[in-house]
Amino acid sequence: MVGERLRQARVARQLSLADVAGEAHVSAATLSRVERDKQAIGVDLFLTLARVLNATPAELLVDDANSDDGEAALVARISAMKSRERTQLWRRLTEDLRTSRVQKSADVHSISLQVEELLAQVDFLRQEIDAVRIRVGRKP
What pLDDT does 125 receive?
A: 94
Q: Rounded distance, CA 130 to CA 94, Å?
A: 54
Question: Please, which contacts does 38-44 make with residues 24 or more away whose CB atoms are closer than 8 Å?
Answer: 38/3, 41/2, 41/3, 42/93, 42/97, 43/90, 43/93, 43/94, 43/97, 44/94, 44/97
- The full set of domains in the chain, from first to last, is 1-70 (1.10.260.40)
pLDDT in tens, 6-64: 999 999 999 999 999 999 999 999 999 999 989 988 888 888 998 999 888 888 887 55
pLDDT in tens, 57-116: 888 887 555 555 666 767 777 877 788 888 888 888 888 888 888 888 888 888 988 999
Q: Name 90's Cβ contacts closer than 8 Å, sequence gap at least 6.
A: 43
DSSP code of 56?
A: -
Answer for the pair 103, 110: CB distance below 8 angstroms, yes or no. Answer: no
Buried b (16+ CB within 10 A) or exposed e, 32-48: ebbbeeeeebeeebbeb
What pLDDT does 24 receive?
A: 93
What pLDDT does 122 receive?
A: 94
Q: Rounded distance, CA 61 to CA 46, Å?
A: 10
What pLDDT does 96 receive?
A: 82
What pLDDT does 70 receive?
A: 60
What pLDDT does 52 receive?
A: 92
Above 60 in pLDDT, residue 140? Answer: no
Q: Name 27's Cβ contacts closer than 8 Å, sequence gap at least 6.
A: 21
Q: How many CA atoms lie within 13 A of 9 on its CB side?
A: 25
